[in-house]
């Protein structure tokens, strides 16, 4: 049992003011593996006060000194990466191979990319008219991160906030506290000045709201559901905070008839199912040109049937359980909704896979003959559920792809480069994958429409945390 009953505030581990607790559960076994103390508004006040005081010095620390702290954090992150992977597997059920190769690795991957971008970025420049722009920190930043990619999102917020001279208060998901506490330990080990980074555990309605409403917080950066992002934005509006949001998605995967079907279709299935479908940019809508649609359904069915489900502690490419019962119940309800809407169930369905009655495991599920007005094509399911939709032309594919309130990522497969570039230009999404290739660490990540605003990662992620000040050249 791992009990977490201390918050990291002003450079020390302190007892919270809040008195509520919640169990830390392992989603593969349904067993309690610890207990978490939850904070309240008084804990937020304490953390924000510490961050505000620290900003008076950290905000004016030379760039080279800030970089040195980040370099130490990188060395520590690399040394403790296996600890991070084990924590993520225990608290959210990610298979250990995925935790090592992607979940925990994202913390160090993003940090390396941020350091490269930081080195290339000047914090002052001269305009063609002779005026001078300086890029300066905003102040105290409130950071709220989700459970599905816990360290990926913590790194995408904490690192640029600190690099650019801001101080911060992190409220990670209360459901994944083990990885967040470990990250705070690494910050402490790197020797950052007290108050620069603060960690408060708590739920959204209590700690999240107190943080986003706090008058001394200058910026909120939030990743999570669109519903919660709206709440953060409303709370932040009271004090005219800057708000950056990374929200949900229902990403289209457009496959044209000239694409390598034998490669792209199974790849799309496995990409959708990866992390048990709990990724906001997963390609959950496979749009296939009608002339090859039947063949694609056959290939997708073969891939979906081959998708292994397994114990997260075992190495391999299998998927693990969903995160918790609430998520399990939602995914089950959406699968039933697809059946009720008349979609053709090809693989999977409701219930748990054979042999996995304990834990929040679900059957990898494939629906065909879906129309884009069905709920399973419009709503973010956040589970290993793929829907297949035929299209008749390039214009038809683009219209279906864009017919969604979301706009996070989109996927395109074709052998025709000119077509790929035409389609990419017309897709309303922040990130594009082409013929199975995604972007890398250091590129911006974020979406259009209800998938959010702002960008995370690399140089664009750094500039989110800067204010811009302009002045004329000095004249006596």
Positions annotated as catalytic residues are 246
Among candidate residues 145, 131, 349, 139, the one with its CA nearest the CA of residue 228: 145
Question: Please, are residues 24 and 192 in contact by the beta-carbon 8 Å criterion?
Answer: no
Please give the sequence-ordered ranges of beta strands (E in DSSP) within 226-281, or none if there are none.
242-246, 252-255
DSSP string, 373-390: TSHHHHS---SSEEEEEE
Among candidate residues 388, 385, 254, 255, the one with its CA nearest the CA of residue 307: 385
Sign of CA dihedral 217, 48, 151, 381: negative
CA torsion, ordered 267, 272, 275, 280, to nearest 10 deg: 130
Report the alpha-carbon distance of residue 235 to residue 473 in Å, rounded. 39
The three-class DSSP label of residue 411 is strand
For 4, the enclosing helix (H) or strand (E) is strand 2-4
Report the alpha-carbon distance of residue 441 to residue 139 in Å, rounded. 26
First to last CA, the chain: 67
Question: Please, are residues 211 and 202 in contact by the beta-carbon 8 Å criterion?
Answer: no
CB environment 169-182: b (16+ within 10 A), e (fewer): bbbbbbbbbbbbbb
Question: Please, are residues 307 and 277 in contact by the beta-carbon 8 Å criterion?
Answer: no
Question: Please, are residues 66 and 163 in contact by the beta-carbon 8 Å criterion?
Answer: yes
Q: Report the largest interatomic distance among the alpha carbons of the chain, rounded to a whole angstrom.
A: 81
CB environment 390-426: b (16+ within 10 A), e (fewer): bbeebeebbebbbebebbbbbbbbbeeeeebeebeee
Which DSSP state fits 352? Answer: P
Alpha helices in 238-314 (DSSP H): 261-273, 293-306
The three-class DSSP label of residue 320 is coil
Report the alpha-carbon distance of residue 83 to residue 99 in Å, rounded. 10
Return the bridge partners of 142, or none: 169, 220
Among candidate residues 413, 417, 421, the one with its CA nearest the CA of residue 391: 413
421's CB contacts (< 8 A; 6+ apart) are none
Report the alpha-carbon distance of residue 321 to residue 312 in Å, rounded. 8
């Amino acid at each position: 049992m791992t009990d977490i009953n201390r918050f990291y505030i002003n450079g020390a581990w302190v007892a919270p003011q809040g008195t509520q607790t919640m169990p830390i559960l392992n989603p593969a076994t349904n067993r309690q593996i610890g207990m978490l103390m939850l904070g309240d508004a008084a804990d937020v006040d304490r953390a924000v006060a510490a961050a505000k005081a620290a900003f008076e010095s950290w905000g004016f620390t030379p760039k080279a000194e800030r970089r040195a702290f980040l370099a130490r954090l990188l060395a520590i992150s690399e040394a403790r990466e296996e600890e991070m992977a084990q924590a993520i597997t225990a608290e959210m059920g990610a298979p250990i191979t995925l935790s090592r190769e992607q979940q925990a690795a994202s913390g160090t991957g993003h940090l390396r990319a941020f350091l490269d971008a930081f080195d290339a970025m000047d914090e002052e420049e001269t305009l063609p008219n002779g005026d001078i722009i300086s890029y300066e920190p905003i102040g105290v930043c409130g950071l709220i991160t989700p459970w599905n990619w816990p360290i990926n999102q913590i790194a995408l917020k904490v690192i640029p906030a600190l690099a650019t001279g801001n101080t911060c208060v992190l409220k990670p998901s209360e459901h994944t506290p083990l990885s967040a506490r470990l990250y705070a330990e690494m910050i402490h080990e790197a020797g950052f000045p007290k108050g620069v980074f603060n960690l408060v555990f708590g739920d959204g309605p209590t700690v999240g709201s107190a943080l986003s409403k706090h008058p001394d917080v200058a910026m909120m950066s939030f990743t999570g559901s669109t519903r919660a992002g709206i709440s953060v934005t409303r709370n932040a509006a009271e004090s005219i905070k800057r708000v950056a949001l990374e929200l949900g998605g229902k990403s289209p995967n457009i496959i044209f008839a000239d694409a390598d079907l034998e490669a792209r279709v199974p790849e799309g299935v496995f990409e959708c199912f990866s992390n048990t479908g709990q990724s906001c940019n997963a390609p959950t809508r496979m749009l296939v040109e009608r002339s090859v649609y039947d063949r694609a359904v056959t290939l997708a069915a073969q891939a979906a049937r081959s998708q292994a489900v397994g114990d997260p502690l075992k190495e391999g490419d299998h998927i693990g359980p969903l995160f918790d019962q609430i998520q399990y119940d939602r995914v089950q309800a959406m699968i039933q909704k697809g059946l009720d809407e008349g979609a053709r169930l090809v693989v999977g369905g409701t219930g748990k896979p054979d042999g996995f009655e304990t834990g929040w495991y679900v059957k990898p599920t494939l629906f065909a003959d879906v129309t884009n007005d069905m709920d399973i094509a419009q709503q973010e399911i956040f589970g290993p559920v793929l829907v297949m939709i035929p299209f008749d032309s390039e214009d038809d594919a683009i219209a279906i792809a864009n017919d969604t309130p979301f706009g996070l990522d989109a996927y395109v497969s074709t052998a025709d480069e000119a077509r790929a570039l035409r389609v990419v230009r017309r897709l309303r999404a922040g990130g594009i994958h082409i013929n199975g290739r995604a972007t890398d660490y250091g590129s911006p990540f974020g979406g259009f429409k209800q998938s959010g605003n702002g960008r995370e990662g690399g140089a664009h992620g750094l500039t989110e945390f800067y204010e811009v000040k302009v002045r004329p050249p000095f004249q006596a």
